[in-house]
Amino acid sequence: MKKIKAVIFDWAGTLVDFGSIAPVQVFVEVFAAHGLAVTTQEVRSHMGLAKKDHLNALLQMDRIATAWQEVHGTAAGVQDVDIMYEELTPKLTELVSKFAAPIDGIPELLLALRSEGIKIGSTTGYVEEMMAEILPIAEAQGIKIDAVVNSSECLEGRPSPFMIFRNMEKLGLYHADEIIKVGDTVADMHEGVNAGTWTVGITTSGNEIGLSKEAWDVLSKETQDKLKNQAADRLIDSGAHFVIHDLRNLPSIIEEINAILEYPEN
């Protein structure tokens, strides 16, 4: 009988780093060092991609491309991306460890999934040296992952499915419809769709809202609901089969998917 056998999680904004704060801060700093002011909204529009791809995508945005031309007198090229990536990597590697604490309820959720025989995988736009900083801190606080695949392990990161396929290899699974991809970005949803998995988007802690826990908690319920609905719409438009506002509700989604897999004709 078919049923969900694994959940593959994103990291920042999903398991750790409520609001996905660390990457945004560093991208803004790196662009500022090259004479350009980029907004957090611009940075967040491409969140979830491998970091070099993220830089390239930002430099191709019309406003930023025009601003670069005005400041530097020429269009940004491959060498510029390489230089900025070399600056970004150590900055982000240093910062991510400060944002590696689990989001509320995550260690307990992972334990609950394991108790049901569900394997835990993960994909990320971070590279190996960044994950080397995150993993010991996260593991010490209860985030135990069976398969960790970062963007530097594959020829392409998101939106390609290759990191999910590498997870499937590590986990010993080969039926994509028995796997859920969970993430907080448009790129996460595209990754899951391209791999043929179920996709679940998370709003409250994620990039599509992009607020720290402290900033989120002081908002009125009306404002929170508005932001959650806007984020949900973007994730659904990007291919999410389900959207949840709290990852602790994932087990009920798994039950719903298992029912679909057991009785597909319904």
228 is catalytic: no
Query: Which one from 51, 52, 119, 228 is the annotated catalytic residue?
Result: 51
d(CA 71, CA 35): 7
The full DSSP string for 215-232 is HHHTS-HHHHHHHHHHHH
Residue partners of 95: CB distance under 8 A and separation at least 6: 22, 25, 26
Buried-exposed string 227-240: b where 16+ CB fall within 10 A, e elsewhere: bbeebbebbeebbb
181 is catalytic: no
d(CA 188, CA 132): 21
Residue partners of 72: CB distance under 8 A and separation at least 6: 34, 35, 80
Amino acid occupying residue 165? F
So which residues are the catalytic ones? 10, 51
